[in-house]
Amino acid sequence: MSVFNLAKGKSGIISDVKVDGAAGDRLNALGIKKGAMVTVVAFSLFNSGVLIMAGYNRIGLRKCVAERIEVTAC
């Protein structure tokens, strides 16, 4: 399942990040990498994006990017 499929307030452990290029490098620098725990904080209006928390970082992701981050629900 992707991080976008997690319900608000639920957590998961990242199993794969399928984002390449500069966006993938930036996510890695922010702690979005395999084995990291993420929690869904909120969804944007009309579900076009998601706000997640990884460690002490809150990160807003577009739906197309969030769907490329695979997680295992906790």
Supply angle C-alpha 29, 62, 13, rounded to 5. 55
**Helix, strand, coil % (nearest 5) of the chain?**
25, 45, 30
pLDDT at 35: 96
Give me the number of domains the chain comprises.
Answer: 1
pLDDT at 74 exceeding the cut of 90: no
pLDDT at 16: 96
CA atoms within 13 A on the CB side of 6: 28
Q: What is the pLDDT of residues 8-62, one digit of tens each?
A: 999 999 999 999 999 999 999 999 999 999 999 999 999 899 999 999 999 999 9
| Structural domain span for residue 7 | 3-73
Which amino acid, one-letter code, is at 62?
R
Supply angle C-alpha 25, 26, 27, rounded to 5. 95
Confidence label for 6 from pLDDT (cuts 50, 70 and 90): very high
Write down the residue that tokens 């981050």 correspond to.
69
CATH of the domain at 10: 2.30.30.90
